[in-house]
Amino acid sequence: MSITSILKVRDYIDVLCKAVNEQLVDAGIVSVSQLVKTWDLATEILNSLVLVEVGSKIDAIRDGDALYTRSYLSAQRNIIRAMLCGLTKVTPIDRLQSELQLTNTMFWSLFDELDAVKEAPGKIIGARTSSRCLYHPNIYTILVKQYILKTFLQEGMLRLAVFKKLFISEPKIYMKEILQDMEHSTLIYFPSAILSIKVWNEIEAVVKEEMNSKSVVDVRLHMPEIVQSRADIEQAIISLVKNNENWLFVPGISYIYSQQLLSFAMKALDGLINIRAEEITSIWGKQKAFKKQEKKQDEEWNTAKSKKGKGGKGKTLKQILPEESTLDLLIRLSEEEIIKELKKTNDIPNELLEDVTEQIRTKAENLLRSRTELLLDNVHAISIQDHKRAHAQLQETLCALYDNICIFEDGAATFEDTVASNLQIHLLRTLCTDFANNVLSYISRTQNVDTLNTKARNETIANIENAENRKAVEKLFTALSTKDLESFHDAVFGVCTSAVCALNLKMPDKKRRIELIKTYEDQLVSQLRECTDPPSGLLLTLLILLARNEKIAVHASGKFVSHLIAKVERHPKTNAELAELLTSSQKMIILSMHAKDDVNLMTKLNEKLVALIAAVNGFDYVAS
């Protein structure tokens, strides 16, 4: 290139530099991309020939695509200073930048200049590259501290949600910073709020006062409005019970009660225990009403003794079982009847009835035993009324068994043929067998019939004197060997005739079946609540889900779990998470059978059990 050409290029560059300076004087900022477009120059030429003069011929500072004059940046710095000084609340940095014509880098450069000379009255929270980067004015920090201190000192409590709203991520650390060490160490942290020790002491004092007068307290009623979540109440209950050894609670409900309530409950059962002791005494004495028949049986057993050998495990009540063992069969107080009796007092909340019953049941049965033994010492004869009561007990037991057999038969029928058949066979071998054993025990006056081997049981049946009774019992036991319940139902109504047991049994109607299924579901839920065995927990969960969603009652053992899972999964209410929980639980249980010493596996199994219980009770759960 000639010298003339070089001079012309230099002159042209000087013209362009002058033009840039003029635009900068006018606007304070010039866009490089806009210059390329306006002058129709290649970016490479502009960069290599013109913009290299920035700082010399071009009086500007370049940042990326922008050229700034120093006066413009000074003005922008002043604007930033004014904005920061004027802010009184937490503000996103993005919002500040949107008000300025600065690149991100230039903005932070100016901010750092202000910060270096302490002219940025606040601090940056978060990464500068993040869209969530925030500016916290110092005045905001002061105002927040004043608000929190004033509110907490006046009310003695603060919602944790307030801290989140005020952009305080660690309430515990913040309270430690603004309070004295002594005050901070006495704070009570709940999942929803912070309470001062003064407020908590007031709550505890009121609870103690009510506990002393009523023996039971609904903790929720005494907690502040901002501390009402399930987790809050649970923590409050745990704290209260921890400091009072005689107080008790039931997980999941808001009541606590004292040992005094159990004493009151025992007094409430006094009448029931007296009635039951009289009933047991009458039933126990029924063997004397058949003294003549028992004497004949004794003679027969003495004759056949040498023939029975080891196989004959069962004998008449008088021969085989000592008095204490037979009393154990009679001295029972069911949960249902105890709850029914306690409800009459109206002093025990319904939510506590089950737990109170569990706490006093053994003691109540021990009291029942002592009163029964006292009555038995004075019993010398048996009356017709005793036999009627025994008959009524049989009626009640068989009615309950038959009701369940009927609903379980309905439940089995909802499965495919092979599974349905196997469920019916399982029903015949369990509840139907219990039914038959109760009948045989009543007619033959033989206790523990369920412990007899086949030979001993057949001998017991053969020794029934009344031919019609014997035939009816034989037919009943024969029906247990079939593969369906048709023969069993026929045999049941043969036993019910006036000539045999004179029982009033009938198949439950539709309304009754619905009630029975609901009762069965409630019993399963109660069992699951106390369950600590993962395989049993999975089976209980499946039976509950079938009762709840399908409205069917299924009587099944662990070997039916795969079929139960398949049926539960097909129901519309079974979501993918629940289906996965059920399937993974089964797989893990199968693995545990081959790795019983695997502590890690057992820990995971227990976590699965907790998830199953949560799922049944409607809580959130995670299928891990």
Average pLDDT of the residues in 262-267: 92
Residue 492: CB atoms within 10 A of its CB come to: 25
pLDDT in tens, 279-332: 888 877 665 545 445 554 554 555 455 445 444 444 444 444 444 446 677 788
Please indicate whether residue 597 or residue 4 has the higher confidence score (pLDDT): 597
Prediction pTM value: 0.43
Please indicate whether residue 423 or residue 170 has the higher confidence score (pLDDT): 423
pLDDT value at residue 192: 92
pLDDT band at 520 (very low <50, low <70, confident <90, very high): very high
| Torsion sign across C-alpha atoms 431, 369, 342, 272 | positive
Residue 387 has pLDDT above 80, yes or no: no
pLDDT value at residue 258: 92
Q: How far is CA 198 from CA 154, 201, 223, 483, in A?
A: 12, 5, 13, 71
pLDDT value at residue 154: 86
Residue 504 has pLDDT above 70, yes or no: yes
pLDDT band at 77 (very low <50, low <70, confident <90, very high): confident
**DSSP letter string over 142-166?**
HHHHHHHHHHHHHHSEEEHHHHHHT
Please indicate whether residue 292 or residue 176 has the higher confidence score (pLDDT): 176
Terminal-residue alpha carbon distance, the chain: 77
> Do residues 540 and 524 make contact, with C-beta atoms less than 8 angstroms apart?
yes
Residue 34: CB atoms within 10 A of its CB come to: 12
pLDDT value at residue 556: 95
Which residue type occupies 101? Q
pLDDT value at residue 292: 43
Alpha-carbon gap, residue 474 to 491, rounded angstroms: 9
pLDDT in tens, 5-16: 655 666 667 777
The two three-digit tokens of residue 573, written as one number: 């209410």
pLDDT value at residue 548: 93
The two three-digit tokens of residue 622, written as one number: 């995670």
Which of 21-25, 128-132, 210-214 shows the lowest per-residue confidence on average (mean pLDDT)? 21-25
CB proximity list for 449: less than 8 A, separation 6 or greater? 314, 437, 438, 440, 441, 457, 460
